[in-house]
Amino acid sequence: MKKSLIALAFGTLGLGIAEFTMMGILPYVARDLNISIPVAGHFISAYALGVCAGAPMLIVARKRPLKHILLVLMALMLVGNLGAAMAPDYWLLLAARFISGLPHGAFFGTATLIAKTLADKGKEAQSVSMMVTGQTVANMLGVPAGKRADEEKSSEAVSIMIAGMTVANLFGVPLGTSLSHMLSWRVTFLLVGCWGLIVLYYIWRWVPVIEGLKDTGFKGQFRFLKTPAPWLILGATALGNGGVFCWYSYITPLLTNVSGFSAESVTALMVLAGFGMVVGNLVSGRLSDRYTPGKVGTVVQGMICILLLMIFFLSPNPWCSAILMALCTAGLFAVSSPEQVLIIRVAPGGEMLGGACVQIAFNLGNAIGAYVGGLALSGGYRYPALAGVPFALVGFVLFAVFYKKFQAKY
């Protein structure tokens, strides 16, 4: 395996943990800073808004050498997470989380392009798969080898690529929760910041200098946005994910205060949630190749609406709460592969911008969901799930419209 791909994999691992670990440590942060849990939820929104602000940097910096872009992005990750570890109050932690989010979407877009460029002929999909699924390297045994995609299996290939983010949830979030319980939530961000320093070194050593993209014109990259198809996908992504994050942003207090789980058991429950993400992502990829991404995305988004309602009514039962949590997190990433595949198909000439737009939509939904879920907490820890239902329902409608009107074309 090429060392350059390992360096890229290290970067995606750190970003995956930095984004999602806050869900598991929210009560610890709130208690340490003497703020309420709804206010602490702003730290989730701040990271997501940072992703939204940082992803368009790909458009501005597209002519720069790609290795240099990665080095700048990893420096931002280092500064943001070390700042979060040392932040003494709400406002500085909010700023640090925003800075931490800036490199997220741009790193994924740039690293994907580098992985494709460095791939052996005919193995571009395998190269990208190794790059992103390699997030498991630091936690497990090594970077798993992805399978080269057939033309008819593009959805499955994308699901393998996204699997790295789900495995970061499977191991990184529980690890952060456990460290916060035993030591301090600051240790989690300190370790991610130190990991960023390691990634900087290996990108500098192992990633070759690759020139930036040819200047095909700034306006030409936006041409695909003139049609309704990409807007339907982006709207479904933002609102569908927003519905889930209304609930998932406050999953820890729901599990402990409503479902009756102990604080010590939350780490194991986060592993279960991450396992749901892994399974949902991989199964969705296979089903999308067989039944079309639009159909799979529509069905899964409809199931998420039902699951959020069931969580609202059944979360006082601990077994029901745990099972529904795993199913809903599976749904969250089961729609990711269809969304990623579809946005590439509907964005000819602007694929990089399309990929950045999906990151923006996902994290915009994350930010809105965390904020709205925080407002719903006034009714109790069960109500964020109920507040997420309308968002998920609109996401379902948008997906259904795309499937009915545009799926046959793409």
Q: What is the pLDDT along the chain (410 residues), one digit of tens a residue?
A: 567 767 777 787 788 778 777 877 888 889 889 998 888 888 888 888 888 888 777 666 666 777 888 899 999 999 999 999 999 999 999 999 999 999 887 887 777 667 656 655 544 434 443 444 433 333 332 222 222 333 344 444 344 444 445 455 555 566 666 776 677 888 888 888 888 888 888 888 887 877 655 555 667 677 888 899 999 999 999 999 999 999 988 888 889 999 999 888 887 887 788 788 778 877 886 787 778 888 989 999 999 999 999 999 999 999 999 999 999 989 988 887 788 778 877 887 776 677 778 878 887 888 888 889 988 887 888 899 999 999 999 999 999 999 999 887 77
Whether 283 contacts 341, CB under 8 Å: no
CATH topology of domain 3-405: Growth Hormone; Chain: A; (1.20.1250)
d(CA 337, CA 280): 10
CA distance 392 to 409: 25
Q: From 307, 325, 314, 327, select the one nearest 382 (Cα to Cα).
A: 314
CA distance 213 to 59: 10
pLDDT value for 190: 87
Angle at 13 between CA 104 and CA 262, to 5 degrees: 105
Give the global pTM.
0.72
The structure tokens listed for 330 are: 């599976």
| Cα distance between residue 160 and residue 106, in whole Å | 20
- pLDDT for res 233: 93
CA distance 129 to 327: 25
| Under 8 Å between Cβ of 330 and 277 | yes
Q: How far apart are CA 286 and CA 392, in angstroms?
A: 23
DSSP 99-130: HHHHHHHHHHHHHHHHHHHHSPTT-HHHHHHH
C-alpha–C-alpha distance, residues 251 and 255, integer Å: 6
pLDDT of residue 84: 92
Dihedral in degrees, nearest 10, Cα atoms 252, 255, 258, 264: -90
For the chain, how many residues are written? Answer: 410
Cα–Cα dist 131/199, whole Å: 13
